[in-house]
Amino acid sequence: MTYFPTLDQIVGHDAVVADLKQAMANDHPGHAHLFFGPPGVGKWTVAAAFAQALFCRHKPTPGASGCGGCPACLKVAADNHGDLVRVVMGEGKTRIGVDQVRQLTAFFALTPMEAPWKVAIMDDAASMNEAAANALLKTLEEPPSRSLLILVTRQPGKLLPTIRSRCLKTRFSPLASAALQRILATLTTLDAATLQEVMAAGRGNVGRILAFSQGELLELRRKFYQEMAGLPTATLAQLFTLAEQWGTPEKFAHIVPLLKIWLQERLHGVVLQTDRGTMATRDSQEAWLKAIFWIEQLLRQAAEVNLNRRLVLEAVLIRLARLQGAGY
Ligand SMILES: [Zn+2]
């Protein structure tokens, strides 16, 4: 389902929306914005709604939201407005390259075709490589008139300080659970119990929650928690079967985030026990900490250098089973 709210329909970021409207009202929307905050809370969605509002032809006042229904608004929602480009990482790439920034610069150099502004939105801006970041800096130092760049990132600290300092910064906070529920109510038809379950599974990330609400992923999560609960009593052969099932590229991509959340939950549980304080639990906390550190490193390596997924999972499952008393 395509979710394309206008600025007025954005849920959970009232202060951000008010600031953006104010900037438009003064006809100084700025040349460069930096939208930063946790993943999946709506930075990209707000950026697109901001562009839509700038382009809308049916606004009662300059500071109003896009109407959502005029030709300009519809084009933005359908992603075919000639004065808006979205820069995203290429398929299979891990960085945004200098070619992409050069295309963006060329785009800004043209006069707007139909809107008063030309807008570019760059996702994962912190993943620009050095050459790309330096090329972008040049554009920011001498911004073409009527151009507006919105950089979106979850890691503003990884951007060049000289890029950061030239941007108007907008911090996005995690969505409150009431706001999340409102968004999900418009996007899904889940019953209350499933809604609670997908919200817990998605941990505030709307994209992840929506993925879980498709059902298949939710089923995988249920099965994952079941299997993890049975780990201490599972046989080695069962662990190997599990590692094989979860080791396919598609499953692995979902299992890794589930595993990370599961580990955090376990650690949290162990820390709470330690607070009540015996030596035994303190030892166990240290063992869990070591295991989690080791597993996170292994998962990172698996992503970076393409380790064999099945073998990685076997190693992880055996370590976790032993930690919980399995005798092998
Ligand atoms: Zn409109």
Q: Model's pTM, two decimal places?
A: 0.74
pLDDT tens-digit series, residues 91-114: 778 899 999 999 999 999 999 999
The pLDDT value recorded for residue 122 is: 97
Q: Is 277 exposed, middle or buried (0-12, 13-18, 19+ CB in 10 A)?
A: exposed
The proportion of the chain whose per-residue pLDDT surpasses 90, expressed as a percent, equals 59
% of the chain with per-residue pLDDT over 70: 96
Confidence at residue 280, expressed as pLDDT on a 0 to 100 scale: 57
pLDDT digits (tens, 9 = 90+) for 180-207: 888 887 777 778 888 888 888 787 788 7
CATH superfamily of 7-171: P-loop containing nucleotide triphosphate hydrolases (3.40.50.300)
Q: Is the pLDDT of residue 69 over 60?
A: yes
**Is residue 5 within 8 Å of 49, Cβ to Cβ?**
yes
Residue 29 identity (one-letter amino acid): P
34: number of Cβ within 10 Å: 22
Give the Å distance between the CA of 70 and the centre of ligand 1.
4
Centre of ligand 1 to C-alpha 63, Å, is 13
Examine the pLDDT at 307 and tell me if it is beyond 60: yes
Residues at Cβ < 5 Å from ligand 1 ion: 56, 58, 66-67, 70, 73
Residue 55 CA to ligand 1 centre (angstroms): 7
The CA 65 to ligand 1 mean position distance, Å, reads 8
- Please tell me the predicted confidence (pLDDT) of residue 204: 79
How does the average pLDDT of the chain come out, rounded?
89
Give yes or no for a contact between 30 and 72, defined as CB atoms under 8 angstroms apart. Answer: no
Instruction: Using the structure block, give the residue that is written with the tokens 């930690």.
Output: 323
- Asked if the model's pLDDT at residue 47 lies above 70, the reply is yes
Strands (E), the chain: 32-36, 84-87, 118-122, 147-153, 168-171
- Mean pLDDT of the region 237-246: 96
Residue 186's pLDDT is 78
Residue 268 has pLDDT above 50, yes or no: yes
CA of 78 to the centre of ligand 1 (A): 13
**232 CA from centroid of ligand 1 (Å):** 58
Instruction: Compute the distance between CA of residue 87 and CA of residue 89 in angstroms, rounded to an integer.
Output: 7
Give the lowest-confidence range in 20-24, 47-51, 179-183: 179-183
What pLDDT is stored for residue 48 in this prediction?
A: 96
Q: How far is ligand 1, taken at its centre, from the CA of residue 74, in Å? A: 7
- What the block records as the tokens of 195 is 């809604």
Handedness of CA 221, 223, 226, 228 (dihedral sign): negative
Distance 39 CA to ligand 1 centre (A): 28
pLDDT digit string, tens, across residues 119-139: 999 999 999 999 999 999 999
The rounded Å distance from CA 316 to ligand 1 centre is 52
Q: What is the pLDDT of residue 278?
A: 57
Distance 172 CA to ligand 1 centre (A): 25
Residue-wise pLDDT for 137-187, tens only, equals: 999 999 988 999 999 999 999 999 999 999 999 999 988 888 888 888 777
pLDDT band, residue 287 (cuts 50/70/90):
confident
- Would residue 306 be called left, alpha or beta, if left means φ above 0 and alpha means ψ between -120 and 50 degrees? left
State the distance from the centre of ligand 1 to the C-alpha of 16, rounded, in angstroms: 20
Angle at CA 130, nearest 5°, toward 129 and 135? 100
CA dihedral 165, 168, 173, 178 (to 10 degrees): 180
Ligand 1: distance of its center to the CA of 127 in Å? 33
- Kind and range of the H or E run holding 303: helix 279-305
* Average confidence (pLDDT) over 29-42: 93
Tell me the per-residue pLDDT of 203-225, one tens digit each, with 9 for 90 and over: 778 877 887 877 788 888 889 99
CA distance 72 to 70: 6
Report how far ligand 1's centroid is from the alpha carbon of 52 (Å): 7
Ordered strands of the 168-171 beta sheet: 84-87, 118-122, 147-153, 32-36, 168-171
Distance CA 77, CA 321 (A): 49
If you measure from the C-alpha of residue 215 to the centroid of ligand 1, how many angstroms do you get, rounded to a whole number? 35
The pLDDT assigned to 1 comes to 42
User: Residue 26, class by beta-carbon neighbours within 10 Å (0-12 exposed, 13-18 middle, 19+ buried)?
Assistant: exposed
Q: What pLDDT does 4 receive?
A: 87
Q: Are 298 and 306 in contact (CB under 8 A)?
A: no
